[in-house]
Amino acid sequence: MNHPQEPVNGNSPEEEATPSQESRSEFVSPEAERSAEAEQNRQAASETASASYQNAERSSANEAHSSGESGTPPIPPIPPTRSGGGSGDGNEPPKKPRGKALLGYFLTGLLGVIVGAVIIFFAVSGLNQDDSNSSSGSLGNTSSTKSNTVEKVSYKNSTDITKAVSKVQDAVVSVLNYQASSNSLESGLGGFGSGGSSDGSNGNSSGSDSSSEQEASSGSGVIYKKANGKAYVVTNNHVVDGADKLEVTFSNGKKSTAKLIGTDEWNDLAVLEISDKNVTSVAKFGDSDALTVGETVIAIGSPLGTEFSGSVTQGIVSGLNRAVPVDINGDGQEDWEAEVIQTDAAINPGNSGGALINLEGQVIGINSMKISTENVEGIGFALPSNSVEPIITQLEEKGEVQRPALGVTLRDVDTIPEQQQSSVLKLPSNINYGAMVQQVTSNSAASKAGLKQYDVIVDINGQKITNTVELRKVLYNSNLKIGDTVKIKYYRDGKEKSTSLKLEEAKTVQQ
């Protein structure tokens, strides 16, 4: 019979497998002390691990005791884990309640959300209040409270154009043309009275007829001079043509009666004299020869009447030295070529006689005409200031422009049928140009020089004459003066001849 083997150390298996309480105390206490010294937050975990270990030892001892009786070797203890977990014998440290922790986290987060929402609400409200105040100021609404005041916001825009206009605008006026009209019974029944009478009494006649002056047309003018209680206005001849009474309206609405000093139908200019009582500004002329194509220009005048007086339009110089044909006597034939400035600044009926200025506020042209057809836009013309000044000086001093003349009436050769050029004028085949003499005024310069009807003038002082316009240019635009002698070449009966002629003063539109 075999007997169970005795333990070597003389202790029973139960005593050997089960550590004493003192040993357990020595094992746990140093670990707890070390955990307390390390950090407070790991204390709970250390206590849990220690409790697990103790439970494991108890379980091992019991199992060893049982195995000693049954002969089964002891099972080593299970090492503790971080998750812990006891056997429910009261030695396991109490777990923290998870529900309360989650509730605390939730309440803390909720409080943060509420505080953040309140902060954002007041911040956005402050921005909206600032925007509201800014909008109120920009719209010009003025309100005041005890805490703040919102003021109007204004902006003054000043450019080269506004500065130029401010220098001239008060010197540009409206010119009103009044003509006599009959108020007789005949006129009321549809008669066509002219407003005048054969005896030159301006329509004043006996009986029931009476006359009154009605506004017939209007235009613009520019005050260019002020002296000795008088002021002088330049405008277009066609603005004042046929007037029985003239009136000037200033930019401030005040009016003054105007006196016609003189006119020049060839260059479409006229000078008026007014009292300087209401004159506050005088325009200055600039150098029109210094203009360049593309330069900014500004037109000022009274388009469509005094209702739109002082209107300003902007454009550029579209062309220089343009030659525009003009019919002076209304016969449908070209009598003259006006040398003008072309601009695309809007020039409408009523702008005639107004100012065309540069960015310095200087008058460089007097608006005169425009091409007005269905297919044309933005082609207007102004008389150059360098041409205007000497003419208005003569008009102011003498009431007229004195020009040299030949004493003849003329017709362009190119308007005469080719058959008559050969049979009547007997011109050589290579001569199809020139100015034909239609009529010679008695005792005129041409009569004294021997010129006759049907003579064809082709040259004056070495300058080729192609038509009557070119002949007038030579007489009017050159340095020729009354009393000067010129050499004329002409054809008579197919032969070239020449003569000398002493220029005389022109009395009519005839040359």
Q: Which of 46, 211, 251, 268 is catalytic?
A: 268
Q: Which of 50, 174, 217, 238 is catalytic?
A: 238
Identify whether 335 is a catalytic site residue.
no
CB count within 10 Å of CB 2 equals 4
Handedness of CA 86, 88, 92, 95 (dihedral sign): positive
Identify whether 65 is a catalytic site residue.
no
Amino acid at site 338: A
Strand spans (E) along 145-184: 149-150, 172-182
Strand spans (E) along 354-502: 355-357, 363-370, 380-384, 404-405, 408-412, 435-440, 456-460, 463-464, 485-492, 495-502
Query: Residues 6 or more apart from 373 whose CB is under 8 A from it?
Result: none
d(CA 24, CA 20): 6
Tokens found for residue 211: 């006359």
Tokens 């089964």, residue?
72
Strand partners, 245: 178
Q: Which of 35, 50, 288, 352 is catalytic?
A: 352
Strand spans (E) along 199-281: 211-227, 230-235, 245-249, 255-264, 269-275
Residue 421: alpha-carbon gap to chain centroid: 57
Q: At what angle do helices 43-70 and 21-38 cross, to 10 degrees?
A: 160
Query: Residues 6 or more apart from 21 whose CB is under 8 A from it?
Result: none
Identify whether 414 is a catalytic site residue.
no
d(CA 511, CA 507): 9
Instruction: Give the active site residues.
Output: 238, 268, 352
